[in-house]
Amino acid sequence: MKTLLLTNEYPPNVYGGAGVHVDYLSKHLSALMQVDVRCFGEQHEKRGNLEVQGYSVFKEEVKFPSNLRSIFDSSERCLRFNEAGIDADVVHCHTWYTHLGGIFAKLNYGVPLVVTVHSLEPLRPWKREQLGGGYDFSVWVERTAIEMADAIIAVSKGTRDDILRNFQVDPHKIHVIYNGIDTDEYHKVKETDALIANGIDPDRPYVLFVGRITRQKGIVHLVNAIRLLDPGIQVVLCAGAPDTPEIAAEMKEAFTRVAADREHLVWIEKMLPRDQTIQIYSHAALFCCPSIYEPFGIINLEAMACETPVVASAVGGIPEVVVHGETGHLVPVAQEEEAPFAPRDPETFSRDLARPINRIMAKPQMRAEYAAAGRRRAENKFSWKSIAAETAALYESLRKPS
């Protein structure tokens, strides 16, 4: 058996959960079969059954608007993925950036197509702010790939429901296979040099956010909640890679406003290396995930594996990861019917985030109990070894007789 994984993100170019997913999935699948990874970048490596090849784009002068670069860059790379030839038994796509490559492979090479849904374009309407008309393209190519796929992997039951609501697909083609966590790598550590290097006071308990600056992640709602937190709480935001100049400016304005009246705030405006992030997870008193759309929410699982309790919004797949009253606290999000995945009342949502943060931060024993339960749940339910085995079994069910 040989699989071809098509992905935008792959180390060292990882900025989101999908990249983390493909990184670990490819390594664990390679213990079971040959794995060919084709990704965006300059990577080139071969280790045992795992071969990784990055594809860059041509550098000729272009005349399209800058906000369409991701559209045309991804389309060009998808073509190059296929021009390199395909001898795999299955092609497995991750994120809409690679779906055109999967369509080419299925139609031209006759290879079964698997699509993992990490998020869905129709449920991220704010991306029109980023892509303009390119959003119509990303919606179209995602829909085309999902509806013609031989199998669809949903990273949560909530995502499965979203797929059935938004696409014309046979429910039997959808398989729920969760994201995973490497608990040998993600675990509580004692080192604090990364905290000190990034301006965090290791002696003051802190609430942590880790993620990109996007509407989806809801970070501005957390920033607006800071003014409602007890004054002694330190807040650490590991937040970089803004989707657009507009959301970057909105984040900066919100942070500047709250910082004018508040001490103990740290904003790390970049995505940190994994070892530093693990340190910062490990010493956090509490992790907060204020997402307004989250098919799975791997950041919550990373925090739990590092023995950090979680306060998270009760959206998408998050309630399948965070157990309310056991590993943390879930915050309902009342959403606008006319504007899906936006809080109906942003001020109320920020207040609802602040309330459990204050309560849990004031109770060290509760934090310790949530932390221990979160680690157990990460170990027992979200092993990459079992996830790779489930994925391999799905491939085998699609394999054409030789």
Q: Is residue 113 part of a domain?
A: yes
Query: What residues are paired with 312 via a beta bridge?
Result: 289, 330
Q: Which CATH number fits the domain that encloses residue 348? A: 3.40.50.2000
Helix (H, G, I), strand (E, B) or coil at 263: coil
**Do 131 and 217 reside in the same domain of the chain?**
no
Tens digit of pLDDT for each residue in 7-22?
Answer: 999 999 988 889 999 9
**Do 205 and 80 reside in the same domain of the chain?**
no
User: What range does the domain containing 153 cover?
Assistant: 2-180+382-397
User: What total number of domains does the chain contain?
Assistant: 2
- Tell me the longest C-alpha to C-alpha distance in the chain: 69
Query: What is the distance between the terminal CA atoms of the chain, rounded to a whole angstrom?
Result: 11
Q: What is the pLDDT of residue 338?
A: 57
**Do 112 and 219 reside in the same domain of the chain?**
no
Residue with tokens 């500047």: 256
**Do 170 and 270 reside in the same domain of the chain?**
no
User: Does 241 score more than 90 pLDDT?
Assistant: no
Name all contacts of 187-194 with Cβ < 8 Å and 24+ positions apart: 187/278, 187/282, 187/305, 187/306, 187/307, 187/375, 188/282, 188/306, 188/307, 188/375, 189/278, 189/279, 189/282, 189/306, 190/282, 191/279, 192/279, 192/283, 193/279, 194/272, 194/275, 194/276, 194/279, 194/280
User: Does 361 score more than 90 pLDDT?
Assistant: yes
**Do 7 and 48 reside in the same domain of the chain?**
yes
pLDDT band per the 50, 70, 90 thresholds, residue 244: confident
User: 241 versus 402: which is more confidently predicted?
Assistant: 241
Q: What is the pLDDT of residue 402?
A: 63
Tens digit of pLDDT for each residue in 370-394?
Answer: 999 999 999 999 989 889 999 999 9
**Do 21 and 86 reside in the same domain of the chain?**
yes
Q: What is the pLDDT of residue 336?
A: 63
pTM value surpassing 0.75: yes
What type of residue sits at position 206? Y
Q: What is the pLDDT of residue 306?
A: 98
Tens digit of pLDDT for each residue in 176-224?
Answer: 999 999 999 999 999 999 999 999 999 999 999 999 999 889 999 999 9
User: 125 versus 85: which is more confidently predicted?
Assistant: 85
Q: Is residue 188 part of a domain?
A: no
- H helices present in 200-345, as ranges: 219-225, 245-259, 274-283, 298-305
**Do 168 and 227 reside in the same domain of the chain?**
no
**Do 152 and 216 reside in the same domain of the chain?**
no
Section 281-304 average pLDDT: 95
% of the chain at pLDDT higher than 70: 97
Q: What is the pLDDT of residue 337?
A: 60
User: Does 340 score more than 60 pLDDT?
Assistant: no
The C-alpha atoms of residue 133 and residue 116 are separated, in whole angstroms, by 24
* DSSP single-letter state for residue 173: G
Helix (H, G, I), strand (E, B) or coil at 93: strand
**Do 226 and 81 reside in the same domain of the chain?**
no
